[in-house]
Amino acid sequence: MKSPRARIALALVAVWAGLILLHYPWRCLPYYWDEAGYYALAALDFYRQALLIPESTQKLGHTPLVPAFVGAAWRVLGVSPCRAREAMMLVAAATLVATYALGCRVAGRKVAAWSAALLAFSPLFFAQSSMLHIEIAPALFITLAVLALLPRPELSTGDDPGKRMAAFALAASLAILSKETSVILLPVAWAFAWRARRELASTAPKARNV
């Protein structure tokens, strides 16, 4: 029986391969719009000089995680639009796997499978999943952050809130490093934690009385 991590890795590779096949006729298209004007140049600066603030294009204050990721991928796979798009498809594949995991956590496998499938074939996600833009990465990390906040029912006796909050902090930080507007996640998470704490406090006296 495979471990949960092995199953996640296999699912990630399978979804990534599926996305590459679906995008195969267009995976080597030239860069377009913001890809050519900013993100590809920023990734190239990271690839050549490990620069987090690009010098080959305007300093627009964009967060550096996605260009740095693509620049690092180029060091392994080689520099080309094909490889940049394949790297972004890996991020999209991880987003679909995370969506499925979140669906399983809150509504069961059937809802999770439909959620991931509908997301995969929605026109906006399908187009963005191969583009050198920064929208897919925050979607991944916000999904992981929400997943980290939710307790796991199967670990009701061994669930560690401290570990979950550490995982949330890491995922939320990566989301903000992917796109600055992800900061909106923080007040939402605070509201969730505040409500969960109130519910826990209200049930504690009842549990003691029982």
> Which residues, 6 or more positions from 210, have their beta carbon under 8 angstroms from its beta carbon?
none
CB 38 within 8 A of CB 60: yes
Specify if 199 maps to a domain.
no
DSSP code for 39: I
Specify if 201 maps to a domain.
no
CB 28 within 8 A of CB 130: no
Specify if 191 maps to a domain.
no
Q: What is the full per-residue pLDDT of the chain (210 aa) written as tens digits?
A: 567 788 899 999 999 999 999 999 988 899 888 888 899 999 999 999 888 888 888 877 788 999 999 999 999 988 999 999 999 999 999 999 999 999 999 988 999 999 999 999 999 999 999 999 999 999 999 999 999 888 776 655 556 777 888 888 899 999 999 998 888 888 887 887 777 777 666 665 554 444
What's the number of domains the chain is made of? Answer: 1
Helix boundaries (H) for 50-122: 65-77, 81-107, 109-121
- The three-state DSSP-derived secondary structure of 126-139 is HHHCCCCCCCHHHH
DSSP code for 12: H
Specify if 190 maps to a domain.
no
Q: Which domain holds residue 131?
A: 4-181
Specify if 42 maps to a domain.
yes
Is 15 in a helix, a strand, or coil? helix
Instruction: Give the integer Cα–Cα distance in Å for 19 and 96.
Output: 10
Specify if 86 maps to a domain.
yes
Q: Which long-range contacts (CB under 8 A, 24 or more apart) does 189-196 make?
A: 189/145, 189/149, 192/149, 193/149
CB 130 within 8 A of CB 23: yes
Is 150 in a helix, a strand, or coil? coil
Specify if 66 maps to a domain.
yes
Joined together, the tokens standing for residue 94 give: 């991880």
Specify if 208 maps to a domain.
no
